[in-house]
Amino acid sequence: MKKQKIGIVGLGLMGGSLALALRESSDAFEFVGLDHNQAHCQEALELGLVDTIASDLEEIKRCDVIFLSIPVDSIIAISQELTGLDPKCTVIDLGSTKAKISESIPADIRPNFVTAHPMTGTEKFGPSAAHADLYRDKVVVLCDLEKSGQHQQELAKSLFTSIGMKLVYMDAKEHDRHAAFISHMPHAVSYSLANAVMRQEARESIVALAGGGFKDMSRIAKSSPNMWEDIFRQNKENLLEAIHSFQSELKKCQKMVENEEWEALNKWMEEANSLHDILD
Protein backbone atom coordinates (compact mmCIF):
# COMPACT_ATOMS: atom_id res chain seq x y z
CA MET A 1 0.00 0.00 0.00
CA LYS A 2 1.27 3.43 -0.89
CA LYS A 3 2.13 5.47 2.18
CA GLN A 4 0.46 8.81 2.84
CA LYS A 5 2.87 11.70 2.51
CA ILE A 6 2.83 14.10 5.43
CA GLY A 7 4.70 17.37 5.04
CA ILE A 8 5.90 19.09 8.19
CA VAL A 9 6.79 22.74 7.69
CA GLY A 10 8.72 23.83 10.81
CA LEU A 11 10.75 21.12 12.51
CA GLY A 12 10.68 22.44 16.06
CA LEU A 13 8.97 21.21 19.23
CA MET A 14 5.44 21.18 17.78
CA GLY A 15 6.19 19.81 14.30
CA GLY A 16 8.77 17.32 15.48
CA SER A 17 6.55 15.99 18.28
CA LEU A 18 3.63 15.68 15.87
CA ALA A 19 5.70 13.56 13.46
CA LEU A 20 6.79 11.31 16.35
CA ALA A 21 3.22 10.93 17.62
CA LEU A 22 1.75 10.18 14.16
CA ARG A 23 4.56 7.71 13.47
CA GLU A 24 3.71 5.90 16.69
CA SER A 25 0.01 5.81 15.79
CA SER A 26 0.44 4.20 12.37
CA ASP A 27 3.05 3.00 9.88
CA ALA A 28 1.02 4.28 6.93
CA PHE A 29 2.80 7.64 6.86
CA GLU A 30 5.94 8.98 5.27
CA PHE A 31 7.26 12.29 6.59
CA VAL A 32 8.82 15.09 4.55
CA GLY A 33 10.21 18.06 6.43
CA LEU A 34 10.96 21.68 5.56
CA ASP A 35 12.61 24.31 7.72
CA HIS A 36 14.53 27.45 6.81
CA ASN A 37 17.08 26.49 9.48
CA GLN A 38 19.39 23.96 7.83
CA ALA A 39 20.83 22.75 11.14
CA HIS A 40 17.29 21.91 12.28
CA CYS A 41 16.68 19.95 9.06
CA GLN A 42 19.82 17.90 9.69
CA GLU A 43 18.88 17.35 13.33
CA ALA A 44 15.32 16.30 12.41
CA LEU A 45 16.70 13.68 10.03
CA GLU A 46 19.18 12.38 12.59
CA LEU A 47 16.50 12.18 15.28
CA GLY A 48 14.21 10.30 12.89
CA LEU A 49 11.49 12.97 13.10
CA VAL A 50 11.17 13.00 9.29
CA ASP A 51 12.26 10.61 6.53
CA THR A 52 13.41 13.22 4.03
CA ILE A 53 13.87 16.96 3.71
CA ALA A 54 11.97 18.64 0.88
CA SER A 55 14.06 20.62 -1.58
CA ASP A 56 11.42 23.36 -1.73
CA LEU A 57 7.80 24.26 -1.00
CA GLU A 58 6.70 22.76 -4.34
CA GLU A 59 7.62 19.32 -3.06
CA ILE A 60 5.63 19.96 0.14
CA LYS A 61 2.62 21.00 -1.95
CA ARG A 62 2.44 17.49 -3.40
CA CYS A 63 1.95 15.93 0.07
CA ASP A 64 -1.41 14.46 1.16
CA VAL A 65 -1.32 16.36 4.43
CA ILE A 66 0.71 19.48 5.25
CA PHE A 67 1.22 20.67 8.81
CA LEU A 68 2.35 24.25 9.35
CA SER A 69 4.15 24.31 12.70
CA ILE A 70 5.86 27.67 12.38
CA PRO A 71 5.37 31.09 14.03
CA VAL A 72 1.95 32.61 13.30
CA ASP A 73 3.21 35.41 11.00
CA SER A 74 5.02 32.80 8.90
CA ILE A 75 1.82 30.73 8.65
CA ILE A 76 0.10 33.72 7.04
CA ALA A 77 3.04 34.35 4.71
CA ILE A 78 3.40 30.75 3.57
CA SER A 79 -0.31 30.20 3.05
CA GLN A 80 -0.20 32.85 0.31
CA GLU A 81 2.23 30.61 -1.57
CA LEU A 82 0.25 27.39 -1.21
CA THR A 83 -1.52 27.80 -4.55
CA GLY A 84 -2.72 25.05 -6.84
CA LEU A 85 -3.20 22.37 -4.21
CA ASP A 86 -4.93 19.10 -5.01
CA PRO A 87 -8.58 19.33 -3.82
CA LYS A 88 -7.89 16.42 -1.44
CA CYS A 89 -4.78 18.02 0.04
CA THR A 90 -5.26 18.92 3.70
CA VAL A 91 -3.30 21.80 5.24
CA ILE A 92 -3.41 22.05 9.03
CA ASP A 93 -1.83 25.00 10.79
CA LEU A 94 -0.96 24.76 14.48
CA GLY A 95 -0.73 28.47 15.25
CA SER A 96 -1.58 29.86 18.71
CA THR A 97 -3.76 32.61 17.23
CA LYS A 98 -6.52 31.81 14.80
CA ALA A 99 -8.63 34.77 13.60
CA LYS A 100 -6.01 36.50 11.44
CA ILE A 101 -4.83 33.18 10.03
CA SER A 102 -8.36 32.00 9.26
CA GLU A 103 -9.13 35.28 7.44
CA SER A 104 -5.89 35.44 5.49
CA ILE A 105 -6.03 32.05 3.76
CA PRO A 106 -6.60 32.61 0.00
CA ALA A 107 -10.21 31.78 -0.93
CA ASP A 108 -9.35 29.13 -3.52
CA ILE A 109 -7.49 26.99 -0.98
CA ARG A 110 -9.68 27.80 2.05
CA PRO A 111 -11.42 24.37 1.86
CA ASN A 112 -8.00 22.69 1.98
CA PHE A 113 -7.23 24.37 5.29
CA VAL A 114 -8.02 23.35 8.84
CA THR A 115 -6.99 25.92 11.45
CA ALA A 116 -6.10 24.16 14.70
CA HIS A 117 -4.57 25.11 18.04
CA PRO A 118 -3.24 22.25 20.13
CA MET A 119 -3.25 23.45 23.76
CA THR A 120 0.11 21.99 24.57
CA GLY A 121 3.76 22.88 24.42
CA THR A 122 6.74 23.31 26.65
CA GLU A 123 9.16 26.17 27.10
CA LYS A 124 11.71 24.22 25.05
CA PHE A 125 12.16 24.59 21.32
CA GLY A 126 13.98 23.06 18.35
CA PRO A 127 13.93 19.49 16.98
CA SER A 128 15.69 18.07 20.05
CA ALA A 129 12.77 19.19 22.24
CA ALA A 130 10.34 16.93 20.33
CA HIS A 131 8.72 14.04 22.16
CA ALA A 132 5.97 11.63 21.15
CA ASP A 133 3.69 12.33 24.13
CA LEU A 134 3.38 16.10 23.75
CA TYR A 135 -0.16 15.87 22.35
CA ARG A 136 -1.54 12.93 24.34
CA ASP A 137 -4.66 13.76 26.43
CA LYS A 138 -4.42 17.43 25.47
CA VAL A 139 -7.11 19.61 23.90
CA VAL A 140 -6.93 20.71 20.27
CA VAL A 141 -9.21 23.59 19.28
CA LEU A 142 -10.50 23.35 15.70
CA CYS A 143 -11.60 26.79 14.53
CA ASP A 144 -14.08 27.89 11.86
CA LEU A 145 -14.31 24.25 10.83
CA GLU A 146 -17.32 24.92 8.56
CA LYS A 147 -14.91 26.71 6.21
CA SER A 148 -12.93 23.50 5.67
CA GLY A 149 -13.86 20.85 3.12
CA GLN A 150 -15.68 17.70 4.30
CA HIS A 151 -12.67 15.51 3.55
CA GLN A 152 -10.35 17.91 5.36
CA GLN A 153 -12.62 18.10 8.42
CA GLU A 154 -12.80 14.31 8.76
CA LEU A 155 -9.09 13.79 8.18
CA ALA A 156 -8.03 16.44 10.71
CA LYS A 157 -10.39 15.02 13.34
CA SER A 158 -9.16 11.52 12.74
CA LEU A 159 -5.45 12.47 12.86
CA PHE A 160 -5.77 14.44 16.10
CA THR A 161 -7.89 11.73 17.67
CA SER A 162 -5.37 9.06 16.66
CA ILE A 163 -2.65 10.79 18.71
CA GLY A 164 -4.88 10.97 21.78
CA MET A 165 -6.19 14.53 21.59
CA LYS A 166 -9.57 15.84 22.76
CA LEU A 167 -11.39 17.89 20.08
CA VAL A 168 -12.97 21.25 20.91
CA TYR A 169 -14.74 23.36 18.26
CA MET A 170 -14.76 27.14 18.34
CA ASP A 171 -15.17 30.25 16.28
CA ALA A 172 -11.69 31.69 15.55
CA LYS A 173 -12.50 35.04 17.20
CA GLU A 174 -13.83 33.36 20.33
CA HIS A 175 -10.72 31.16 20.39
CA ASP A 176 -8.43 34.19 20.28
CA ARG A 177 -10.22 35.86 23.16
CA HIS A 178 -10.09 32.70 25.28
CA ALA A 179 -6.48 31.96 24.33
CA ALA A 180 -5.49 35.48 25.41
CA PHE A 181 -6.71 34.70 28.94
CA ILE A 182 -5.52 31.11 29.26
CA SER A 183 -2.22 31.33 27.43
CA HIS A 184 -1.06 34.66 25.96
CA MET A 185 -1.56 36.92 29.00
CA PRO A 186 -0.05 34.25 31.32
CA HIS A 187 3.05 34.36 29.11
CA ALA A 188 3.24 38.16 29.52
CA VAL A 189 2.90 37.62 33.29
CA SER A 190 5.62 34.98 33.40
CA TYR A 191 8.04 37.12 31.35
CA SER A 192 7.28 40.05 33.71
CA LEU A 193 7.91 37.91 36.78
CA ALA A 194 11.26 36.76 35.42
CA ASN A 195 12.30 40.30 34.53
CA ALA A 196 11.17 41.72 37.89
CA VAL A 197 13.56 39.32 39.62
CA MET A 198 16.35 39.85 37.07
CA ARG A 199 16.26 43.63 37.70
CA GLN A 200 17.07 43.15 41.40
CA GLU A 201 20.61 43.72 42.56
CA ALA A 202 20.53 40.60 44.72
CA ARG A 203 19.08 38.49 41.92
CA GLU A 204 21.42 35.57 42.44
CA SER A 205 20.70 35.35 46.18
CA ILE A 206 17.00 35.67 45.44
CA VAL A 207 16.98 32.97 42.79
CA ALA A 208 18.94 30.64 45.12
CA LEU A 209 15.76 30.48 47.23
CA ALA A 210 13.49 29.45 44.36
CA GLY A 211 11.06 26.68 45.27
CA GLY A 212 8.63 24.81 43.08
CA GLY A 213 6.08 27.64 42.96
CA PHE A 214 8.47 30.16 41.46
CA LYS A 215 9.96 27.60 39.09
CA ASP A 216 6.50 26.72 37.78
CA MET A 217 5.51 30.34 37.36
CA SER A 218 8.67 31.37 35.55
CA ARG A 219 8.95 28.26 33.38
CA ILE A 220 7.18 29.72 30.35
CA ALA A 221 9.37 32.85 30.58
CA LYS A 222 11.89 30.60 28.82
CA SER A 223 9.67 30.48 25.72
CA SER A 224 10.90 31.61 22.31
CA PRO A 225 10.76 35.43 21.87
CA ASN A 226 10.37 35.09 18.10
CA MET A 227 7.34 32.87 18.43
CA TRP A 228 5.72 34.98 21.15
CA GLU A 229 6.40 38.33 19.50
CA ASP A 230 4.26 37.10 16.59
CA ILE A 231 1.49 35.84 18.84
CA PHE A 232 1.36 39.10 20.81
CA ARG A 233 1.20 41.05 17.52
CA GLN A 234 -1.57 38.91 16.04
CA ASN A 235 -3.67 38.87 19.18
CA LYS A 236 -2.88 42.40 20.33
CA GLU A 237 -6.38 43.59 21.31
CA ASN A 238 -7.42 40.46 23.20
CA LEU A 239 -4.04 40.29 24.91
CA LEU A 240 -4.32 43.89 26.11
CA GLU A 241 -7.81 43.22 27.43
CA ALA A 242 -6.62 40.15 29.32
CA ILE A 243 -3.59 42.01 30.73
CA HIS A 244 -5.96 44.74 31.87
CA SER A 245 -8.22 42.23 33.68
CA PHE A 246 -5.20 40.70 35.35
CA GLN A 247 -3.85 44.12 36.35
CA SER A 248 -7.10 45.11 38.03
CA GLU A 249 -7.04 41.94 40.15
CA LEU A 250 -3.44 42.53 41.19
CA LYS A 251 -4.29 46.18 41.92
CA LYS A 252 -7.14 45.00 44.18
CA CYS A 253 -4.71 42.74 46.02
CA GLN A 254 -2.18 45.56 46.35
CA LYS A 255 -4.81 47.95 47.74
CA MET A 256 -6.08 45.42 50.27
CA VAL A 257 -2.52 44.84 51.52
CA GLU A 258 -1.79 48.60 51.63
CA ASN A 259 -5.02 49.30 53.51
CA GLU A 260 -4.66 46.19 55.69
CA GLU A 261 -8.06 44.86 54.68
CA TRP A 262 -7.12 41.35 55.72
CA GLU A 263 -10.59 39.88 55.81
CA ALA A 264 -11.34 41.06 52.28
CA LEU A 265 -7.94 39.75 51.13
CA ASN A 266 -8.70 36.36 52.63
CA LYS A 267 -12.04 36.26 50.79
CA TRP A 268 -10.35 37.28 47.51
CA MET A 269 -7.84 34.44 47.94
CA GLU A 270 -10.69 32.04 48.57
CA GLU A 271 -12.32 33.15 45.32
CA ALA A 272 -9.08 32.34 43.52
CA ASN A 273 -9.08 28.90 45.15
CA SER A 274 -12.38 28.19 43.42
CA LEU A 275 -10.70 28.18 40.00
CA HIS A 276 -9.62 24.68 40.84
CA ASP A 277 -13.21 23.50 41.08
CA ILE A 278 -13.45 23.94 37.31
CA LEU A 279 -9.83 23.17 36.37
CA ASP A 280 -8.88 19.53 36.37
**Minimum CB distance to a copy of itself smaller for 1 or for 208:** 208
Is 118 in contact with 140 (CB distance < 8 Å)? yes
**Minimum CB distance to a copy of itself smaller for 104 or for 247:** 247
In a 13 Å sphere around the CA of 254, the CA atoms on its Cβ side amount to 6
Task: Tell me which stretch binds a copy of itself (CB under 8 A): 37-45, 58-66, 81-89, 222-230.
Answer: 222-230
- Residues sharing a CB contact under 8 Å with residue 165, sequence separation 6 or more, in sequence order: 118, 135, 136, 137, 138, 139, 140
Q: Rule CB under 8 A: which of 65-124 touch a copy of itself?
A: 119-122
Pick from 118, 122, 63, 65: which is nearest to 96 by CA? Answer: 118
Pick from 52, 60, 14: which is nearest to 223 by CA? Answer: 14
Does the protein bind a copy of itself through residue 247 (CB under 8 A)? yes
Is 156 in contact with 90 (CB distance < 8 Å)? yes
State phi, psi for 67 to the nearest 5 degrees: -100, 135
**Minimum CB distance to a copy of itself smaller for 2 or for 199:** 199
Closest contact distance (angstroms) between CB of 140 and a copy of itself is 10
**Minimum CB distance to a copy of itself smaller for 88 or for 244:** 244
Closest contact distance (angstroms) between CB of 64 and a copy of itself is 28
Closest contact distance (angstroms) between CB of 87 and a copy of itself is 32
Does the protein bind a copy of itself through residue 266 (CB under 8 A)? yes
